[in-house]
């Protein structure tokens, strides 16, 4: 099985090698001093983040999102780059509780969303590998990531969108919405990189629909971002718990 993520388990080879599979499986000799309880690691991590990061400039309902973003980035400095519309946490949480689907611009981001945190058995959809994408991208003169956004179709209405990779996907999404297309419940816009990333986030923060309103949004301004940060934001919007 190649070209796919396998939960492939090596077969026991009977050689009795250390670390080999089989009934005699045993842990290696403990040589380092480290915390081995998963929930305790989470607890200590979030305690350290709250100790080190200055969250005072953030609205109360963004604190959990900010701590998870810092956790994903491994960097308290990221907090100064977080910006959001005032209604994004409430809007995303309500949509997810109601079973809204989550659209992502990359499979990696989709993989980072923790299913058991989702309140409404929400479907996670990434259309990047849809067979129609290369043809649409060529016909429209845009990237595959942008063309893939148009395949979300009317289900985009009321959905939660997370973009962690392609600035062109975020620009294209805004163009779909500004054309009077389906209106998502919330946009997590965190593409990463040096070409268009910062600009696409400014476009997100500055967009206005015909009635003067905005689609609720959250971003991390500048070049940084990525699938891990976008996924951690969705995980924080899905449920406020700071555990795994």
Is 71 known to be catalytic? Answer: yes
Cα angle 44, 47, 48 (rounded to 5 degrees) comes to 85
Question: Using the rule CB under 8 A, which residue among 63, 65, 69, 112 binds a second copy?
Answer: 112
Distance CA 109, CA 101 (A): 14
Q: Which of residues 9-28 bind a second copy (CB under 8 A)?
A: 9-10, 12-13, 15, 17-21, 25, 27-28
Least distance (Å) from a second copy to the CB of residue 57? 21
Q: Which is nearer to a second copy, 11 or 56 (CB)?
A: 11
Question: Using the rule CB under 8 A, which residue among 96, 203, 218, 237 binds a second copy?
Answer: 203
Q: Are 202 and 174 in contact (CB under 8 A)?
A: no
Q: In 10 A of CB 212, how many CB atoms?
A: 6
Contact between 75 and a second copy by CB under 8 A: the answer reads yes
Which residues are CB-neighbours of 4 under 8 A, at least 6 positions away? none
Q: In 10 A of CB 43, how many CB atoms?
A: 14
Q: Which is nearer to a second copy, 58 or 178 (CB)?
A: 178
Contact between 30 and a second copy by CB under 8 A: the answer reads yes
Query: Given the rule CB under 8 A, which of 55-63, 134-142, 208-216, 234-242 is the region that contacts a second copy?
Result: 134-142
Distance CA 231, CA 118 (A): 12
Q: Which is nearer to a second copy, 87 or 155 (CB)?
A: 155
Q: Which is nearer to a second copy, 90 or 195 (CB)?
A: 195
**Which tokens in the block code for residue 32?**
């380092």
Selected catalytic residue, list 71, 172, 207, 221: 71
Question: Using the rule CB under 8 A, which residue among 62, 69, 127, 160 binds a second copy?
Answer: 127
Question: Using the rule CB under 8 A, which residue among 24, 56, 60, 121 binds a second copy?
Answer: 121
**Which tokens in the block code for residue 80?**
């100064």
Q: Which is nearer to a second copy, 90 or 199 (CB)?
A: 199
**Burial of 28 (C-beta count, 10 Å sphere; 0-12/13-18/19+):** exposed
Least distance (Å) from a second copy to the CB of residue 240? 20
Which residues are CB-neighbours of 87 under 8 A, at least 6 positions away? 216
Contact between 73 and a second copy by CB under 8 A: the answer reads yes
Q: Are 216 and 191 in contact (CB under 8 A)?
A: no
Question: Using the rule CB under 8 A, which residue among 123, 209, 241, 243 binds a second copy?
Answer: 123
Least distance (Å) from a second copy to the CB of residue 189? 13
Contact between 144 and a second copy by CB under 8 A: the answer reads yes
Longest dimension (CA), the chain: 71
Query: Could you give the C-alpha distances from 226 to 18, 108, 186, 192, in angstroms and in order?
Result: 38, 10, 18, 5
Catalytic residues: 71
């Amino acid at each position: 099985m190649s070209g796919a993520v396998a939960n492939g388990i090596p077969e026991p080879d009977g050689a009795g090698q250390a670390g080999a599979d089989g009934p005699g499986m045993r842990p290696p000799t403990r040589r380092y001093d480290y915390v081995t309880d998963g929930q305790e690691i989470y607890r200590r991590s979030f305690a350290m983040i709250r100790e080190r990061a200055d969250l005072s400039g953030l609205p109360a309902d963004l604190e959990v999102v900010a701590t998870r973003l810092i956790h994903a980035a491994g960097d308290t400095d990221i907090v100064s780059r977080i910006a959001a519309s005032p209604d994004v946490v409430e809007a995303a949480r309500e949509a997810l509780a109601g079973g809204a689907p989550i659209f992502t611009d990359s499979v990696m981001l989709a993989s980072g969303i923790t299913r058991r945190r989702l309140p409404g058995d929400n479907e996670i959809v990434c259309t990047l590998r849809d067979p129609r994408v290369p043809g649409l991208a060529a016909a429209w003169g845009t990237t595959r990531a942008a063309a893939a956004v148009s395949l979300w179709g009317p289900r985009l209405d009321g959905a939660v969108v997370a973009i962690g990779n392609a600035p062109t996907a975020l620009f294209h999404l805004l163009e779909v919405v500004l054309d009077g297309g389906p209106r998502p419940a919330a946009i997590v816009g965190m593409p990463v990189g040096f070409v268009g990333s910062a600009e696409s986030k400014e476009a997100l923060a500055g967009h206005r629909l015909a009635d003067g309103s905005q689609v609720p949004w959250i971003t991390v301004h500048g070049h940084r971002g990525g699938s891990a940060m976008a996924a951690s934001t969705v995980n924080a919007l899905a449920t406020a718990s700071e555990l795994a």
